[in-house]
Amino acid sequence: MENFDELIKSQNFYDQEYFENYLYESELNFEQIKNTAIYYLTIIKNNFGTVQSILDVGAGFGLFVKAFRELGLDAEGIEISDYSTKIAKEKFGIELFNGDLKDYDSNKKFDLICFYHSFEHLPDPHRNLLKASELLSENGILWLSLPNVMSLDRYLKKDKWNGWSLPYHLFHYSPKSIKNLIYGCGFRKVKIQKSFLNPMKFFYKNHNNFNTTIASDIRYSKMKELIRIPATLIFSGQNMNVFALKNKKAY
């Protein structure tokens, strides 16, 4: 896997071309990103407790790091892309560690380590989970957000499913396989929350102002959770958010 890591880096998978459309969307949707952070931090608080420090692995342009900091949290980010870390610093004023998790050497312990749609890009998931466990504080929380290969959306779209995203997505996880992997790496209390395609996004996908006028407010609320749960059962969750606690035996 060491050679595979170097191959990804040398081939410059995550260059300007990869991010060319993402920068504009990120600027346009920062408030949505911040609301997303609030939404999931609320879920984490309700199920596991409050966090004060966060490490975002695969941080892109560092906008989640920026959002967490604006919410008063101590947040740092790791990003393998030279281009992305450069933009994070120059455009958004966010310093990211340029490399992968195995190279991140710190005595600091984090309350939460987040892999927001980055875990499926990693060539050695087992090693990354073990490293994450080392960096987590006592009762530290793991959060993965990733595509669900067992979703109805995948069956309907078949080879056109965007969750495949080859050659960038190296592994494709089901709720069962990701749970087994996390338990196998010594974590406990695994909780999976499935999410589904936003039907409004489908109908308004060609509307220029959709992201700011319709989808900007996704803050956590009990009413939205009551709607989400049955809808997820119907649509069988295109994506899933996976949460777990560091195993007490690991410290």
Phi, psi of 70 (to 5 degrees): -65, -20
* Mean residue pLDDT across the chain: 79
| pLDDT tens by residue, 82-92 | 899 999 999 99
Q: What is the CATH number of the domain that holds 37?
A: 3.40.50.150
Mean pLDDT over residues 231-246, rounded?
A: 75
Residues present in the chain in total: 251
Among 75-89, 140-154, 227-241, name the one with the lowest average pLDDT: 227-241
Nearby residues of 197 by Cβ (< 8 Å), 6 or more positions away: 153, 235, 238
**In whole angstroms, how far apart are CA 179 and each of 91, 109, 173, 241?**
37, 24, 9, 11
Over residues 230-242, the mean pLDDT reads: 67
List the single range of 22-26, 81-85, 142-146, 165-169 with lowest mean pLDDT.
22-26
**Taking CA 152 as the corner, what is the angle to CA 147 and CA 156, rounded to the nearest 5 degrees?**
105
Higher-confidence position of 4 and 208: 4
Which H, E and C letters describe 96-125, residue by residue? CEECCHHHCCCCCCEEEEEEECCHHHCCCH
Which residue is associated with the tokens 């060319």?
Answer: 20
Task: Give me the number of domains the chain comprises.
Answer: 1
**What is the per-residue pLDDT across 190-230, written as a single tens digit (0 to 9) for each?**
999 877 544 333 333 333 433 333 333 445 556 555 655 55
pLDDT higher than 90, residue 188: yes
For residue 163, the enclosing domain spans 2-250
Confidence check: pLDDT of 160 > 90: no
Give the CA count within 13 Å in the CB-facing half-sphere of 194: 23
